[in-house]
Amino acid sequence: MTFLVGLTGGIGSGKSTVAELFAQRGVALVDTDAIAHALTRPQGAAMAPIRLAFGDGVIGADGALDRAGMRSLVFSDRSAKAKLEAILHPLIRQQSAALCAAATDAPYVLLVVPLLVEAGGYRERADRILVVDCTEAVQISRVVARSGLTADAVKAIMATQASRSERCSAADDLVLNDGGLAALQPQVEALHLRYLQLACDKAHAGR
Ligand code: ADP
């Protein structure tokens, strides 16, 4: 079994930025957000069950999920959220497991799961849990700059996610991302060397 690092962090913490630094070092990335997007594209594997559960109202003219429509439905109706997750989460778990298992050429796999702490089925699969951490104020200002959402809208999204302390207490390793990009490189390099060693130990133990 390939050595698996589960990467998580709150919205705007810098998960994608950190994941890219690992990818530059030859690590295989499996991104559950990208899988969720693919599942909800026109003809995506989740679209037939979504149509059945919610009707045509949440489906755009192109046959893909109407993300804005779904987001507002989910915000106003908790049962809609649970219903959507019951469709998407098993498919995401299944596909991410298949992609992780297929990444045999890489020294190890980084599985990016925004809701790793919140969703079941990931923590137990990962050999290490890596959390990208920054202050809530930094999260808010990054997401506002990136998306144009208001600070209140970002806070509302953050309120649906695990708290900073919940996430950090689930972590085996932390990347602190309050500063600039230059501060990330040495942290990623040190973790990468550590993971290469642990991956090697795991491969030898499995022989
Ligand atoms: P996440 O994937 O956790 O939502 P991203 O990696 O997309 O977060 O980062 C959110 C935004 O903040 C992006 O626009 C990204 O370019 C920027 N960003 C992330 N980390 C840093 C950093 N250390 N310095 C400057 N900008 C950063």
Residue 78 has pLDDT above 80, yes or no: yes
Q: For 27-45, what is each residue's pLDDT tens digit?
A: 999 999 999 999 999 999 9
18 CA distance to ligand 1 middle (Å): 8
User: Ligand 1 within 6 A of 114 CB?
Assistant: no
- Say if CB 146 and CB 12 are below 8 A apart: yes
Q: Is 206 annotated as a binding residue?
A: no
Atom of ligand 1 nearest to the CA of 184: 23
Q: Binding site annotation covers 147?
A: no
What pLDDT is stored for residue 152 in this prediction? Answer: 97
Question: If you average pLDDT over residues 143-147, what whole number do you get?
Answer: 95
Counting other chains too, the contacts that 66-69 makes at CB distance below 8 Å and 24 or more residues apart are 67/40
Q: Work out the pLDDT band at 145, boundaries 50, 70, 90.
A: very high
Is the shortest distance between the CB of 9 and ligand 1 below 6 Å? yes
**In this predicted model, what pLDDT tens digit does every residue of 90-106 receive, in sequence order?**
999 999 999 999 999 99
Burial of 51 (0-12, 13-18, 19+ CB in 10 A): middle
Nearest Cα neighbor of 95 from 42, 176, 34 is 34
Closest residue by CA, ligand 1 atom 16: 17
Residue nearest to atom 4 of ligand 1 (CA): 12
CA of 53 from ligand 1 middle (Å) equals 34
Q: Which atom of ligand 1 is nearest the CA belonging to 112?
A: 2
Is 57 one of the annotated binding-site residues? no
Q: Within 13 Å of residue 11, how many CA atoms lie on the same side as its CB? A: 18
Q: Is 9 annotated as a binding residue?
A: no
The mean per-residue pLDDT over the stretch 60-75 comes to 91
Q: How confident is the model at residue 21 (pLDDT cuts 50, 70, 90)?
A: very high
DSSP 205: H
- The CA-atom distances, in angstroms, between 167 and each of 22, 44, 61, 62, 121 are 21, 31, 38, 37, 16
The response to whether residue 20 sits with its C-beta less than 6 Å from ligand 1 reads no
Looking at the chain, the whole-number percentage of residues with pLDDT higher than 90 is 89
In angstroms, what is the span from residue 13 Cα to ligand 1's centroid?
6
Assess whether the C-beta atom of 7 lies below 6 angstroms from ligand 1.
no
Whether 71 shows a pLDDT value over 90: the answer reads no
- Output the six-digit token pair for 82: 């649970």
15 is in an annotated binding site: yes
